[in-house]
Structure 1
Amino acid sequence: MPRTPVEEMSPAEVASFAKEIVVRKLSERAHSRSDLAQALVKKQVPEEVVNATLAKFEDAGLIDDEDFARSWVQARQRGKGLSSRALAMELRRKGVDDEISKEVLAELDPEAEVAAAHRLVQARLRSMSRFDDTIKIRRLTGMLARKGYAPGLAFEVVRQEVGAEAQALDSR
């Protein structure tokens, strides 16, 4: 990358510099338009060049907030077990339009979200055998709350899993 300040570049050099930044960012992973705009502004690229550069990439189909949101939601729900509420907040921070977020999050299966909560609790329960049920419930519901699960759902899932664990121990 050129070490010359943007102010000293010709318009063609600034456009090339902006394009280079966007290509580099997109080669790492998908980004929202807002993420890319912030990256360009951070490098002091003028607003008109930012808009023109991003428009070219959108026209070419290389920037698509809906596709970005869909892949982000799928990866974060699968990998981190995040609830739709937490995913909505992440998408908002990424600069994805609320309408796009709502549309993408509406595609999520509520049963898959509940199943993810059960998997998270089951995995964490394995390492909590030394604690009594009160401590387990408090810590597990706190974990689910941090992942964006509603309190009622979190408590119900934890109660079911702690109960299932107790039954398994009693049957031994």
Structure 2
Amino acid sequence: MPGRRRGARSGRGWDAAPSRARSGSDGASAARSRRGAPPPTLSTDEGEFEWPEGSVPVPITVEREPEETPAPRERRGGRAQQAPQPRDEAERAREICLSQLAVRPRTRAELATALARRGISTEVAVEVLERYDEVGIIDDAAFARAWVSDRHRGRGLARRALASELRQRGVDADTAGAALDDLDPDTEAATARALVDRKLRSARGEPEAVFRRLVGMLARKGYGAGLAIRVVKDAMAAQSAEAAEFADGVDADALADLEGGERTE
């Protein structure tokens, strides 16, 4: 058909009548025509293009290259905040010490070990610990006295076991010895007897086996062989006739010498 563009279909080109689905937009175009408003135009690099009468402008989205923007600074309360400054090493050392002391009392040696593990220099550690010594936050003598009292009452530990624990925690021999002087032999023997009496109430087996288990229990808690054997013998003698008969045949001094010789070897 002359005058028709190739590929165009009747009723679908620019000369097509507006469809009902676009009645809203066409009504707006008609209103503009009635008001004498010019048809919408599209600005291009080649000039302005005028939309044909009755057509609907298609929205065109123009993509822009993203602009580089500086990273936002951290804000708090509406004000820009600077990056936190590194903390002073002495401040870190004090925080480590206080966190350790919040769990339980510590010796100076224990705190020094904790600071070294966290990378605190020796100079700073000595400075902080000296200051804590001056104000009484660190007191190895008070620590040793409290340790001996608590561990003896709570666990029934004897002098030898307590001395070993204090040494492991860095308490020097003189300080530990002064704290252990408060634990006299009579108190130690009474504690050992209380431990044995409590175990005997639930002990089962032949008297000889029970005897050896109880002596071994006292030895692990730091009691000497002689004291342990005498205490167990006396406790078993008071328990029952069978246990008393066995205890009468026990030579405490001979066993103590034997136990001592085996330990020495």
Structure 1 length-normalised TM? 0.88
Matches within 5 A, 1:11-90: 13-90=88-165
Q: Is there any run of 5+ residues in structure 1 with no aligned partner, and where?
A: 1-8
* Structure ID, larger Rg: 2
Per residue, is there more strand in 1 or in 2?
Answer: 2
Mapped pair 1:117 → 2:192: yes
- Cα distance between partner residues in 2 of 1:147 and 1:169: 23
Q: Deviations over 1:12-54 (max 9, x none)?
A: 6211110001011112211110011111111111111111111
SS in 2 for 1:25: helix
Mapped pair 1:162 → 2:240: no
SS in 2 for 1:119: helix
State the superposition RMSD in angstroms.
Answer: 1.7
Mapped pair 1:97 → 2:181: no
1:132, distance to aligned residue in structure 2 (A): 1.4
Per residue, is there more helix in 1 or in 2?
Answer: 1
- Say which of 204, 226, 229 aligns to 1:152: 226
Aligned residues: 160
1:169, distance to aligned residue in structure 2 (A): 8.7
Q: Which structure carries more relative contact order (alpha carbon 8 Å, separation 6+)? A: 1
Q: Deviations over 1:43-68 (max 9, x none)?
A: 11111111111111111111000000
Q: Which residue of 2 aligns with 1:137?
A: 211
- Cα distance between partner residues in 1 of 2:141 and 2:241: 45
SS in 1 for 2:223: coil
- Cα distance between partner residues in 2 of 1:35 and 1:169: 47
Q: Which residue identity is paired with 2:182?
A: E
Q: Which residue identity is paired with 2:159?
A: S
Q: Which runs of 4+ in 1 moved over 3 A?
A: 167-170
Question: Identity, % of aligned pairs?
Answer: 43
- Cα distance between partner residues in 2 of 1:101 and 1:169: 39
